[in-house]
Amino acid sequence: MDKYGLIGYPLQHSFSISYFNEKFQNEYINAKYINFEIPTIDALPEILASNPELKGLNVTIPYKEKVISFLDTVSPEARAIGAVNVIRVEHKGNDIVLKGYNSDLIGFTQSIQPMLRPYHKKALILGTGGASKAINYGLKSLGLDTVLVSRFERPGTIQYEKITPEVIEEYNVIVNCTPCGMYPHFEECPNLPYEAMSNKTLLYDLIYNPDQTLFMKKGLRMGATVKNGLEMLLLQAFASWEFWQK
């Protein structure tokens, strides 16, 4: 039986395990999907050695960047982004070859593109982790100017306290790539001047639990268009399977 799995830490809210095991059952695929909750990325070789049936892995927080040093090849898109969330595992004799890809990019761009209007020219990306790198690359590929928002002083970023109502009006696409507002912290949301939002504002939250975050609710009150991350998650899962079947 083939194995696929997810590496990350922690993994309490993994969407992938239920999605793929249901897919395998429904499509009579002789495979199973396993969560590998590892406290350090250095445990990856041990997982590969002890699971010779492993054909593919998804990668989540906090290893999308750190995993790259373990890979034999990385797709041009994933290399440019600087983050990998899909690994194809190939067995060649006694050797294991690891190929890295980024399906976050595919899932996000396919999901947000139909929502973009001619007046959506600039975007704020909340967060600076592996997911935000894919979002940044995707928005730029769709023709938007982007700025990353960080809680800390980092080169090429803006801090939350510097986001004025004028910034919100100019950067009217805002993508939340942070865990702020994720279950069980329903009452939290990114610190933004929501009162400056309008019906030209597009809020996209990578969180899908809850299905409507406080970030989205506050935007809705001002007439903004909002979307959560569930469709992106489904689309990136489709793309993961394609990469594993190449």
Point out the residues that are catalytic: 64
Indicate the burial class of 81 (C-beta count within 10 angstroms; 0-12, 13-18, 19 or more): buried
Ramachandran angles phi, psi of 188, nearest 5°:
-100, 150
- The vertex-43 CA angle with 37 and 45, nearest 5°, equals 125
d(CA 7, CA 70): 13
Tokens at residue 128, please? 């600076």
Alpha-carbon distances of 113 from 29, 130, 146, rounded to whole Å: 32, 21, 15
- Please report the beta strands in the chain, taking only residues with DSSP state E, as ranges in sequence order: 2-8, 31-37, 54-59, 73-74, 86-92, 95-101, 122-126, 145-150, 157-159, 173-176, 202-205, 225-227
Tell me: cis bond preceding 10? Omega within 30 of 0 counts. Answer: yes
* 28 strand-pairing partners: none
Q: Quick count: other Cβ atoms within 10 Å of Cβ 47?
A: 15
- The vertex-183 CA angle with 178 and 186, nearest 5°, equals 90
